[in-house]
Structure 1
Amino acid sequence: MLDYLACRGCPYETAFEIMEYVRVGKASAKRHTPPDTCFLPQHWDALQACGAEDWFLESCQKIEYLFPRGHGAAMADCLARLVWYAIHAPKESEAVFKKAAEQNGF
């Protein structure tokens, strides 16, 4: 979303504000009685100025929550490490997993 707006010429700060507003669900059409009031006036002006397409605006109104991209990347990195250890050191990783499961009550 941020990349889409930035590529269309929207200033980075404004694109970031719009992205965060949509990401946490504030632009969701379910929260607004008339769906055309989903965006703040300054966001709407910025979206019109950068030429955002109708499909993009409709998609933004359907989003109720988006997982932050940075957290998703960190989780993927963590998973890759876990898989590496499970393949290259299976006995040690199994012992660590069992200990962690016991400590967390699993």
Structure 2
Amino acid sequence: MDSRLISAAQIGCIDDLYALIHEDPYILETIDVVAFVNTPLHVASAFGNLSFAMETMNLKPSFARKLNTYGSSPLHLAIEEGQTRLTLELLKLDPDLVRLRGKEGTQTLFVM
């Protein structure tokens, strides 16, 4: 993934996301074809950047179901990092994400 896209996801800059899309309209599609990858949604979820995560989810809903090379989905990462609000918003957009199995077949466990 482009380092500028990683940085945009880490700091939550939606303007940078769209600047990169303007530069390369296939930037998100290129990421989506990789079977196991950290997507911008993974990064934003781990860093707690809610608005960036929701924007990414709207543009590429398939990212929510992707596992990274460690077997974690964006929801797994949000839970692991204690990003409660982001976790709830992801589940609001797609309640079935809670059934997504990660590494060793584990499902997400979210306790408030």
More helix per residue: 1
Range class of TM-score, shorter chain: under 0.3
TM-score normalised over the length of structure 2: 0.25
Greater radius of gyration (CA): 1
TM-score normalised over the length of structure 1: 0.26
